[in-house]
Amino acid sequence: MNFFTDLLHNPLFVAPAIGWFTAQLIKTILYIIIHREFNAERIFGAGGMPSSHSATVCSLVTATAFRYGASSFPLPMAFFFAFIVMYDAMGVRRETGEQAKVLNEMIGQWREMGNKLQSMDPMDQFKEFVGHTPLQVVIGALLGILIGSIVSNVML
């Protein structure tokens, strides 16, 4: 078989890919429902509900557990990789988004007062959707576990 055929028959590749895609699709649909507008950045962008970070890594952990079992070498590697990714999504990345909100508000107020920021185009703003709340991470993790379970049961 060729490389791509093998890859598409590997549940440890397929489950995280479907987990990521599903989370991004749900995130985009929820954005449309809440804001009543389509934002193409939501398709590939970070942040929001559910966490695609969590869905991706938890589907990988689940598929790894199904494939290799609890006493295997790959499972703890996948588990701690997932822990680090989800911790980072809730921590550093979330704080970055909160800081971006404050900076964007400050820049907006600065401009309203008539001051000009020479180095920044008025259309440029800092990205605010970069991290996740704990609830977004938990929902993404549950989505990932569900998808990893389904893919593993279908493919193994």
Say what the pLDDT of residue 90 is: 80
Distance CA 95, CA 138 (A): 18
pLDDT for 117 beyond 70: no
- pLDDT more than 90, % of the chain: 60
Burial state string for 28-46 with b = 16 or more CB within 10 A and e = fewer than 16 = beebeeeeeeeeeebeebb
Q: Label residue 114 by pLDDT band (50, 70, 90).
A: low
| Mean confidence (pLDDT) of the chain | 86
Question: Is it the case that residue 142 has pLDDT exceeding 60?
Answer: yes
d(CA 140, CA 8): 23
Residue pair 156/63 in contact (Cβ under 8 Å)? The answer is no
Condensed to tens digits (0 to 9), the pLDDT of residues 65-90 reads 999 999 999 999 999 999 999 988 88
* pTM: predicted TM-score of the whole model, two decimal places: 0.78
pLDDT bin (cut points 50, 70, 90) of residue 14 is: very high
**pLDDT (average), residues 100-106:** 75
Residue 30 has pLDDT above 90, yes or no: yes
Banded model confidence at residue 145, pLDDT cuts 50, 70, 90 = very high
What's the distance, CA 147 to chain centroid? 15
H helix runs in 9-91, sequence order: 11-35, 41-44, 52-68, 74-90
Q: Taking CA 28 as the corner, what is the angle to CA 25 and CA 34, rounded to the nearest 5 degrees? A: 140
**What does the pLDDT read at residue 113?**
67
Residue 124 — very low, low, confident or very high, per pLDDT cuts 50/70/90?
low
Length of the chain in residues, anyone?
Answer: 156
